[in-house]
Structures are given as C-alpha cells and as structure tokens.
Structure 1
C-alpha cells in the first residue's frame, strides 16, 4: 500500500541533499514522520498546507518500512501511518509536484 508525505520545498531539498530526514518541524516535535493514506492526504493538505504553494508529494511503499511504521489513531479516530525512524530518500518511490490551482491542491490522478 502506498502512503504519502507532503513536503515544503525546503524540507524536500533537505531529504534530497542528505539522503534522509527526520521530517518537517511537526514531525521532529512529535518524534515520528507523519504520513497519510490516499484517502486521507487531500484532507491533510487542506488542514495543514492550506494555500501553500511549492509543495511536493512523496509516495512510499508502507510494507517496505517494516516495524518502524506504526498505524496510530489520529484525526477523527482514523488510523494514520507514522514512521519511527528517519525517512530515507531510498524509501521514496516517486515525488511529484503538488500544484496549487485556484486555491486548492491538485493531486495526481493515480493515487492508490
């Protein structure tokens, strides 16, 4: 199952430059890297990245993360994937721009 991470330009640049990251400031503060499922990611974008431009959407295969990935209750009681280690560039299957069009983020058609 693919899970998704939204990064601002500077956060994506850190992962590309260093090959790994502890994530965005909220991830560092919480002690894990926040991910969303395909069903959750649009709401995540609207709630935490409203009107933010220059975002990148990363896709990661959840099974490849092993025991470091935990599914934990969060927003509305839903289970969200949380990574309890650094996110590695090698974990990323693909990265695509997440454009802001007319005030809303436009997600790729092929989210699964």
Structure 2
C-alpha cells in the first residue's frame, strides 16, 4: 500500500492543549459548523495560514498521519478546485505525528518548521 504524505491542522495553541488533555480534537468552531475537521496538505498549508490565520500568534501546526484516520477522511474539492482532506470524525491524538509552534516572522507571515520548508 502506498504511504500517504502527512496532512496538517492549524490551531490556536490553547485549543490544541485542551485537545491533547482530552485525547482528541473535536475541531475548531468552523470545523464543528461545517461538520468536519479541515486539514491542508503541505502544498496548501501556507495559503491556509495566510488566508484564515493572518496575524494570529500563538498558533501550532499539527502533522497528521492520514493512514491512521480510516474511512472518516475524505478528499473533497474546495478552494480553487483543489482536493482538501476533511475528517468526518474527531481527531484522535494517536494520529498526530508532531506538533510545532507557528510564530510570525518579521515579514508578518507564519514561520513553518524546517521540516516543512
């Protein structure tokens, strides 16, 4: 079976810490409103940060192993016709590969971890 690339979730650090304590992430308000948890691929995550989290500090980026999400993960057409990963379930912390802070750089854009550059 082909290994899928990691997918990513951006979140305020405080919300993520609550999710870690609970052992699952139930989604941000927009996720709960839409009925699924929004994720981005490595190619999409910077645009997602700029569009939906511009200027927000105290963010994290969580890397998720899509193979651990099962059939609740759907790839659906969204922004510009691109396929985006959507999870129709809570996110178990067992699927999280790593979490990193996402500070704002001098240019006003979020600075992603070295492994994502």
Normalising by structure 2, report the TM-score: 0.91
Give the whole-Å Cα distance in 2 for the aligned partners of 1:22 and 1:28.
8
Q: Is 1:33 aligned to 2:34, yes or no? A: no
Kept after mapping to 1: 8 A contact 2:36/2:86: yes
Give the whole-Å Cα distance in 2 for the aligned partners of 1:109 and 1:13.
22
Give the whole-Å Cα distance in 2 for the aligned partners of 1:108 and 1:13.
19
Kept after mapping to 1: 8 A contact 2:16/2:25: no
Match of 2:10 among 3, 6, 10: 6
Deviation >2 Å, runs of 4+: none
Question: Which secondary structure does the structure 1 equivalent of 2:86 belong to?
Answer: strand
In structure 1, stretches of 5+ residues that fail to align are none
Query: Which structure: greater strand fraction?
Result: 1
Give the whole-Å Cα distance in 1 for the aligned partners of 2:12 and 2:75.
24
Give the whole-Å Cα distance in 2 for the aligned partners of 1:33 and 1:59.
14
Match of 1:104 among 79, 92, 109: 109
Match of 1:92 among 64, 83, 96: 96
How many residue pairs end up in the alignment? 112
Kept after mapping to 2: 8 A contact 1:70/1:82: yes
In structure 2, stretches of 5+ residues that fail to align are none
Superposed CA RMSD: 1.2
Q: For residue 75 of structure 2, what is the aligned residue in structure 1?
A: 71
1:111 positional shift: 2.4
1:9 positional shift: 1.8
Give the whole-Å Cα distance in 2 for the aligned partners of 1:55 and 1:39.
19
